[in-house]
Amino acid sequence: MTVNDSRDIIKATQTKWTRSAWLTDLVKYGQDTNAPYCKRNFVLLIPKFSFNNRRGKTPKKTPRRGNQNKTKDPVEVYSRVRPLEDSNGEVCLKILSSTAVQLTPPLTSHAYKNGNYKESTHTFKYVFGPESSQKAIFDNIALALIDDLLHGKNGLLFMYGITNSGKTHTMQGTTQEGGVLPRCLDVIFNSLGDLQAKKYVFRPDRANGMDVQTEADAMMERQKKDLMPLTQRTTSTPRRKEKEDFSNIVRVPDTTRVNGLVEDNMYSVFVSYVEIYNNYIYDLLEEMPDTISAK
């Protein structure tokens, strides 16, 4: 399968192809030596999924107001174009409009050397140019998913691109220009405010649902956790040896908030943050004690 634009991806999700199947084809397309991309001008694909189904024991949320008959594509694919590393370098990508780009095989590609000099046009939900800010990326891509999340809907957002295409920068950003991930957390906690339940009132039941405890039971569990030694609270997950000092870092938070939450509801936030490195899965939120060498 050759992925020409975002409509091919949407079509793939609506037919018998699985997500893993078309993702594999995307990888093959990106690694093809004849594929029309330039090593100096990277394109980052940002697929976004929106799910309306609800499963498990989690109570149903109050339905959102608005036009419920409006149809919406289940998958939206955005493209972010990274600036050239060398301003005098060869340009092989041209933004035609806010939804389309044109690719031209570079002079060093096999396609050009074999005489297959063919330009191709690819369309997306939206194309963000090199001048696009982190704030613009978040507001146009992720903010609607956070709004849906706080109103009881599921969603998925991930970055896809070749090495050095800007995935980490878009997701994490910097302290002054936060990426999608820290901005999502900012908006969630800005919106919840006093509606956030205290710790251990809600507990995952490991079956895609939640168990609800009384305030007294939750308080007892919090006290028990605070008194427990740190070594008993950690798992055997391996950790990377290097440490970073974040004490002097001042982060600029996103002040956006979602309105219209039901004040009779209580909310609890559960976050997993892992890294896959050298065939190990690292829990980046795990608390680790400071080990003291015997020698």
Which residues are annotated as part of the binding site for ATP?
A: 161-168
**Cα separation, 134 vs 139, whole angstroms:** 9
CB 156 within 8 A of CB 23: no
What is the C-alpha R_g of the chain?
Answer: 23
Strand 210-212 to 120-123 pairing: unpaired
Residue in 274, 264, 199 with CA at minimum distance from that of residue 240: 274
Q: Cα angle at 76 between 131 and 32, to 5 degrees?
A: 75
CA 277 to each of CA 20, 77, 246, 280, 284: distance values in angstroms, whole numbers, following the listed order? 21, 27, 22, 5, 12
Beta bridge partners of 155: 50
Distance of CA 135 to the CA centre of its chain: 14
Task: Give the integer Cα–Cα distance in Å for 202 and 195.
Answer: 13
Q: Which residues contact 159 (CB under 8 A, 6 or more apart)?
A: 44, 45, 46, 167, 170, 171
Give the residue ranges of the annotated binding site: 161-168
Whether the CB-CB separation of 49 and 113 falls below 8 Å is answered with: no
**Distance between CA 276 and CA 258 in Å, rounded?**
32
